[in-house]
């Protein structure tokens, strides 16, 4: 995808909304704008019906029942709610939460915050060089004190796809609840919460060509009685998440979910070819690089590349406005810190600081990737020591 002069290679940060999604959303801003919780009139009923259809589509994407889907403002809220809901409603003496070392910041921060509030402790499960959870370490930390295990399905920086079924099976064996942050998953893998044994699962619409500002938390039916709301108010969504639902956003999310469910598989093959194509183009342009993360269990559109000896921040700056990609580093109090995900898979500070995530998506094509590789090659040769 090109936006003016820019080639967009940052689909894992956010995807553009599909035009089919936008078209479906538009009438709900102006004509069918009724409050979906207004039960006295036709416009309220229309909004409510459309939201329930969207809920059905989101549920179908992950093999859940519609009543197990709670719309949220995004995956950040869904992840916060998953952790809060379990800890606040915990009726057992269990006090440990296991998360992987490469969870998204919103799982990590929420887990540490709520653990402090509720007197729980967090254990971080290390990952291997591939980004896959270290199974031996996981099993050794998995005691019957664990109340919640939270491991993402697909990593946002290095694209590693975890063996969720195996993790969930072992979590269940010790009686823990299994939460999965699947914000990055629908483009990469098929999801079926029943087959995978997932109790709680988070989704985000803007990672699947839907609008920003909406996501969902799947809460398995039998957990819902002990699961406490994070947002209180009018008791919407069966009291699990109060607040007037944003009809256009939910409708857009529903359409995005339906498109990715129907077209996802063909698109995955295309993404894989495009990613390989970018690597090939870089090699042809004599760019030296290595790939971070797993070679096989990987999001087909993700390429996290290390350019030895190159300062990734400077390279990305040089590539503006031509290429949109990201480094995964964070700026804390004016100091740039390299990605904790890359450091968790064993990269030194220097190697992590030389790495960039490129992610291709539905609107990427070969021509863009040839041009991107050439631009990267020119930029690197101009800053190479």
Ligand X SMILES: Cc1ncc(COP(=O)(O)O)c(C=O)c1O
Catalytic positions, written as ranges: 331
- 13 or 128: CB nearest ligand X: 13
**Stretch in the footprint of ligand X (CB under 6 A) among 71-79, 115-123, 165-173, 292-300:** 71-79
User: Least CB distance from residue 44 to ligand X, whole Å?
Assistant: 27
Closer CB to ligand X, 146 or 214, in the complex: 214
Strand 177-181 versus strand 146-150 pairing type: parallel
Using CB under 6 A as the binding rule, whether residue 237 contacts ligand X is answered as: no
- The answer to whether residue 156 forms part of the interface with ligand X (CB under 6 A) is yes
Task: State whether the Cα torsion 287-291-295-300 is positive or negative.
Answer: negative
Among 15, 32, 50, 76, binds ligand X (CB under 6 A): 76
What track of x and - describes contact with ligand X for positions 169 through 188 (by CB under 6 A)?
------------x-xx----
Examine residue 329 and tell whether it contacts ligand X (CB under 6 A): no
Does 25 bind ligand X (CB under 6 A)? Our answer is no
CA 209 to CA 259: how far, in whole Å?
9
Nearest to 249 by CA among 93, 104, 36, 98: 36
Length of the chain: 385
Taking CB under 6 A as the criterion, the residue among 34, 74, 252, 293 binding ligand X is 74
**Closer by beta carbon to ligand X, 76 or else 327:** 76
Q: Does 100 bind ligand X (CB under 6 A)?
A: no
Nearer to ligand X, 36 or 74 (CB): 74
Residues 6+ apart with CB under 8 A from 379: 315, 318, 319
- Give the residues lining the site for ligand X (CB under 6 A): 74-76, 104, 106, 152, 156, 181, 183-184, 204, 215
């Amino acid at each position: 995808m090109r936006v003016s002069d820019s080639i967009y290679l940052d689909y894992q940060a956010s995807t553009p909304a599909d035009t089919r999604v936008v078209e479906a959303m538009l009438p709900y801003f102006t004509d069918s704008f009724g409050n979906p919780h207004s039960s006295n009139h036709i416009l309220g009923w229309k909004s409510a019906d459309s939201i329930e259809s969207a809920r059905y589509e989101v549920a179908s994407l992950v093999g859940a029942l519609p009543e197990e889907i709670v719309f949220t403002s995004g995956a950040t809220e869904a992840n916060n709610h998953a952790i809060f809901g379990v800890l606040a409603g915990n009726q057992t003496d269990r006090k440990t939460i296991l998360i992987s070392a490469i969870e998204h910041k919103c799982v990590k921060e929420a887990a540490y915050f709520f653990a402090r509030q509720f007197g729980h402790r967090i254990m971080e499960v290390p990952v291997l060089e591939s980004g896959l959870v270290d199974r031996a370490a996981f099993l050794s930390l998995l005691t019957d004190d664990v109340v919640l295990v939270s491991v993402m399905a697909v990593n946002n920086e290095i694209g590693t796809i975890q063996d969720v079924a195996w993790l969930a099976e072992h979590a269940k064996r010790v009686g823990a609840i299994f939460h999965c942050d699947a914000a990055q998953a629908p483009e990469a893998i098929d999801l079926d919460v029943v087959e995978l044994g997932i109790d709680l699962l988070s989704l985000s619409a803007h990672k699947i060509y839907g609008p920003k500002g909406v996501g969902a938390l799947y809460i398995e039916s039998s957990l819902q009685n002990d699961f406490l709301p994070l947002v209180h108010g009018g008791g919407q969504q069966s009291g699990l998440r109060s607040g007037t639902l944003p009809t256009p956003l939910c409708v857009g999310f529903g359409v995005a979910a339906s498109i990715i469910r129907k077209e996802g598989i063909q698109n995955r093959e295309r993404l894989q070819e495009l990613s390989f194509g970018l690597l090939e183009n870089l090699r042809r342009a004599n760019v030296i690089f290595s790939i971070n993360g797993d070679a096989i269990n990987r999001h087909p559109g993700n390429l996290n590349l290390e350019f030895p000896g190159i300062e990734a921040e400077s390279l990305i700056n040089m590539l503006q406005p031509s290429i949109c990609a990201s480094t995964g580093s964070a700026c804390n109090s004016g100091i740039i810190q390299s990605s904790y995900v890359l450091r968790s898979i064993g990269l030194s500070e220097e190697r992590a600081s030389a790495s960039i995530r490129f992610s291709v998506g539905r609107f990427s094509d070969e021509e863009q990737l040839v041009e991107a590789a050439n631009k990267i090659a020119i930029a690197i040769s101009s800053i190479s020591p």
